[in-house]
């Protein structure tokens, strides 16, 4: 399957990776006990309470076992792109298809983009529901806190998003230990209550859950819509695989996360069985009243912050991948840790997430209401992942249809079962993540389509390299000292900015570099493969810098590499020429008018290319380029 090779990791480093994985990868699914069983108990069909609790626990346990242990850890995470996982890794792996530009290939790409867009909805709701769920524990400690819980959650969220600009280098070291304590505490509390009624272990039999669904089909969708809350962080296992590796994530799951979650759920079930009249959240009821319960609430808030941070950081990475692959406008990307390129901060994304997460808390006001918006995005992404995995298995790994189809069909039946069970939430709140996803899909598709149309207009009637050298040799063109760098969107194109410059000034620098920065379908590119340099003639060079979708272009670094390879250029004094596109609507481009207007808006507000390529402003000249779509 994957061809990725890994160097042997020492035992101490393996343990550190497992602890780190607990903090980053399992934050979302790890805080699910805060609200999952409580939501299930509120959606039980009219049956005997014991049968209802055993059925709900059975469904939760086997949902975690099937989706996390079997689907993701055993199969999906084997589809890695040089060690990296996530929805865009599947898109990159699928590019080996024999007809990537076919209608089927375009529809598949659109499907992948929709799956990625759904993750943004998850990135908005997860911080809101995790922090709000933890803050609601204050009501169980003292009912007088009830009216202030949403405000407290908003303050915590505002502080969480405010500190993002400092990066995760400092606070990141706390994530793992916090979650180690979290899983240990909830596991021990669950075990303590489990001893009070061991009959709850009968829920390990899957028939209890199946019987509940079969005998009460009218209530099945509502119950499954609550059960899905127990596996809402499953997609994060795959998305964050590149940070820790499949082995470390698997060990962290089986040694800490899975046992802690299972014991917590079964302990809550035992408590619910022995206290049939109690209506408090069974999770916080695990701790004795007073100081122990207050300590559990404090730990819950800390764990919720960790879970939120993981989703926020994941959204940053997802956005940068989309930018690099050409599906999103250029945005400001700040690297917060010089030692780890993956630790980044996107100010615009952070502000947007903060506003939406706080608005979600104020709009819904309680976890009970917010759970109606949760699950649709997660289950939709899971279904898209299954379809993409099937395509990779068939086209990349050359699996036969009889081998790939039964497995993926099984995954898809479960995924769609959960997805359909969440559709009843649409009116009550499920519209929110879908609205976010559709909005982002429109932006990504419009930007990609618009860039393709612009590319055709800029490079459709391209000047060949031989014609370019003829222009350079012309006695009507004066060659001036110094170096000029013209940014080119194609590895074989001639920028219009160069032609305008020659036409207007009748001059050309003695050294001319046509520089392209291309994004490959891999997360990172080795240093020895970074730069391809070709001498065209007459002092003109073509340079192609290659970057992975997890990297950011650096034109200054490329110039240093060119100088070291013999190009007569001084990186500190070279002049960079850029096209400044001015989009005009009303043309014959194959786009809807609303798309043209949207693309024009996005183009005006995108981060300037000069900033994106990390070039000093004093070395830049921009040339206006009106283009009609």
User: Does residue 1 lie in a domain region?
Assistant: no
> Over 50: is that where the pLDDT of 4 sits?
no
User: Cα dist. 182→68, 303, 501 in Å?
Assistant: 19, 7, 63
Domain assignment of residue 456, yes or no: no
pLDDT of residue 564: 94
Which of 243 and 292 is assigned the larger pLDDT? 292
Mean pLDDT for the chain?
87
What's the whole-number mean pLDDT along residues 205-233? 91
Among residues 182, 415, 426, the alpha carbon closest in space to that of 304 is found at 182
49 lies in some domain: yes
Q: What tokens does 182 get?
A: 């979290």
Does residue 301 belong to any structural domain of this protein?
yes
pLDDT at 237: 83
Please indicate, yes or no, whether residues 446 and 583 belong to a single structural domain of this protein.
Answer: no
5 is a domain residue: no
The pair of structure tokens assigned to 69 is 């242990």
Task: Answer whether residue 189 is part of any domain.
Answer: yes
Looking at the structure, do residues 412 and 508 belong to the same domain, yes or no? no
pLDDT in tens, 211-224: 999 998 888 888 99
C-alpha to C-alpha distance for 128 and 496, rounded to whole angstroms: 48
pLDDT band, very low/low/confident/very high, at 342 (cuts 50, 70, 90): low
Q: What is the pLDDT of residue 339?
A: 56
383 and 284 in a common domain: yes
By mean pLDDT, which of 12-16, 208-212, 465-469 is the weakest? 12-16
125 with 270, same domain: the answer is yes
**What was the pLDDT predicted at 1?**
47
If one compares 426 and 258, the residue with the highest pLDDT of the two is 258
Report the alpha-carbon distance of residue 365 to residue 370 in Å, rounded: 8
Rg, the chain, Cα only: 27
Residues 111 and 174 in one domain: yes
Judge whether 562 lies within some domain: yes
The Cα–Cα gap between 418 and 47 comes to 22
DSSP state for residue 86 in the 8-state scheme = S
Tokens of 592: 């809807």
3-state secondary structure of 206: helix
Q: Do both 440 and 474 map to the same domain?
A: no
- What are the two backbone dihedrals, phi and then psi, of residue 549, each rounded to the nearest 5 degrees? -75, -5
Instruction: Please check whether residues 215 and 318 belong to one and the same domain.
Output: yes
Residues 420 and 487 placed together within one structural domain of the fold: no
pLDDT digits (tens, 9 = 90+) for 94-150: 765 444 455 677 788 888 889 889 888 888 988 998 899 899 888 878 888 888 999
Do 268 and 350 reside in the same domain of the chain? yes
Contacts of 436 (CB under 8 A, 6+ apart): 117, 120, 121, 124, 356, 377
In a domain, 604, yes or no: yes
| Domain finish residue from 385, 415, 450 | 450
Structure tokens at 137: 């524990």
Same domain, 403 and 477: no
Q: How far apart are the first and last CA of the chain?
A: 43
CA distance 425 to 419: 10
Domain of residue 470: give its range: 461-628
Mean pLDDT within 458-486: 85
Angstrom distance (rounded) from CA 92 to CA 522: 7
Q: How many domains does the chain have?
A: 2
Domain closes at, from 429, 450, 471: 450
Mean pLDDT in residue range 408-436: 89
Based on the fold, state whether residues 198 and 250 are members of the same structural domain. yes
Q: CATH code at 400? A: 1.20.1740.10
For the record, the structure tokens of 506 come out as 């009748």
Please determine, for residue 5, whether its predicted confidence score (pLDDT) is greater than 50.
no
pLDDT tens-digit series, residues 584-612: 888 888 899 999 999 999 988 888 776 77
Q: Identify the three-state secondary structure at position 475.
A: coil
What's the number of CA atoms in the CB half-sphere (13 Å) around residue 335? Answer: 13
Q: Show which of 428, 450, 472 is a domain's final residue.
A: 450
- The reply to whether 426 and 529 lie within a common domain is no
Lowest mean pLDDT among 67-71, 103-107, 351-355, 618-622: 103-107
Q: What is the pLDDT of residues 268-314, one digit of tens each?
A: 999 999 988 887 889 999 999 889 999 999 999 999 888 887 778 87
Percentage of residues in the chain having pLDDT higher than 90? 45
**Which is more confidently placed, 180 or 15?**
180
């Amino acid at each position: 399957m994957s061809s990725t090779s890994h160097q042997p990791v020492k035992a101490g480093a393996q343990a550190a990776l497992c602890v780190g994985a607990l903090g980053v990868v399992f934050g979302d699914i790890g805080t699910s006990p805060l609200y999952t069983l409580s939501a299930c108990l509120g959606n039980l069909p009219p049956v005997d309470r014991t049968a209802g609790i055993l059925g709900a626990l059975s469904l939760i346990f086997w949902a975690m076992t099937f989706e996390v242990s079997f689907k993701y850890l055993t199969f999906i995470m084997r589809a890695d792109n040089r060690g990296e996982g996530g929805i865009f890794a599947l898109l990159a792996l699928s590019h080996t298809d024999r007809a990537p530009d076919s209608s089927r290939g375009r529809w598949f790409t659109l499907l992948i983009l929709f799956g990625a867009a759904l993750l943004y909805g998850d990135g908005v709701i997860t911080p809101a529901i995790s922090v709000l769920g933890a803050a609601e524990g204050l009501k169980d400690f003292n009912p007088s806190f009830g009216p202030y819980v949403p405000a407290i959650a908003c303050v915590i969220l505002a502080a969480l998003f405010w500190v993002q600009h400092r990066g995760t280098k400092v606070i990141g070291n706390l994530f793992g230990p916090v979650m180690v304590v979290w899983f240990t505490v909830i596991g021990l509390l669950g075990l303590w209550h489990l001893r009070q009624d061991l009959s709850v272990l009968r829920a390990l039999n899957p028939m209890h859950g199946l019987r509940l669904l079969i005998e009460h089909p009218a209530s099945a969708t509502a119950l499954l819509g609550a059960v899905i809350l127990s596996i809402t962080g499953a997609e994060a296992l795959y998305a964050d695989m590149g940070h820790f590796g499949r082995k470390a994530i698997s060990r962290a799951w089986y040694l800490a996360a899975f046992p802690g979650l299972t014991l917590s759920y079964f302990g809550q079930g035992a408590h619910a069985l022995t206290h049939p009249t109690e209506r408090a959240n069974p999770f916080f009821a695990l701790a004795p009243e007073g100081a122990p319960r207050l300590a559990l609430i404090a730990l819950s808030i800390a764990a919720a912050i960790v879970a939120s941070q993981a989703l926020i950081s994941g959204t940053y990475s997802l956005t940068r991948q989309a930018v690099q692959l050409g599906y999103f406008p250029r945005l400001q990307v700040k690297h917060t840790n010089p030692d780890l390129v993956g630790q980044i901060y996107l100010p615009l994304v952070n502000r947007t997430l903060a506003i939406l997460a706080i608005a979600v808390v104020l709009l819904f006001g309680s976890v009970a209401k917010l759970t109606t918006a949760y699950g649709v995005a997660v289950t939709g992404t899971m279904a898209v992942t299954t379809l993409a995995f099937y395509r990779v298995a068939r086209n990349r790994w050359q699996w036969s249809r009889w081998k790939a189809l039964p497995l993926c069909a099984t995954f898809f039946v479960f995924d769609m079962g959960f997805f359909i069970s969440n559709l009843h939430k649409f009116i009550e709140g499920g519209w929110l993540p879908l609205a976010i996803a559709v909005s982002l899909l429109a932006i990504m598709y419009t930007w990609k389509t618009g860039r393709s149309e612009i590319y055709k207009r800029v490079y459709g009637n391209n000047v060949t390299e031989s014609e370019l050298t003829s222009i350079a040799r012309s006695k009507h063109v004066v060659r001036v000292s110094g170096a000029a760098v013209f940014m080119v969107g194609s590895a074989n194109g001639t920028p219009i900015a160069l032609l305008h410059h020659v036409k207007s000034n009748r001059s050309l620098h003695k050294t001319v570099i046509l520089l392209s920065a291309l994004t490959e379908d891999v997360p990172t590119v080795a240093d020895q493969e970074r730069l391809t340099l070709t001498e065209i003639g007459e002092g003109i060079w073509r340079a192609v810098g290659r970057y992975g979708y997890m990297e950011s272009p650096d034109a200054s670094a490329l110039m240093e590499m060119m100088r070291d390879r013999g190009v007569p250029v001084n990186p500190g004094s070279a002049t960079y020429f850029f096209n400044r596109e001015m989009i005009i609507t009303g043309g014959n481009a194959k786009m809807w008018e609303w798309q043209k207007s949207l693309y024009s808006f996005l183009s005006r507000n995108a981060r300037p290319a000069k900033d994106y390529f990390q070039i000093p402003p004093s070395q830049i000249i921009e040339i206006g380029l009106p283009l009609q779509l």
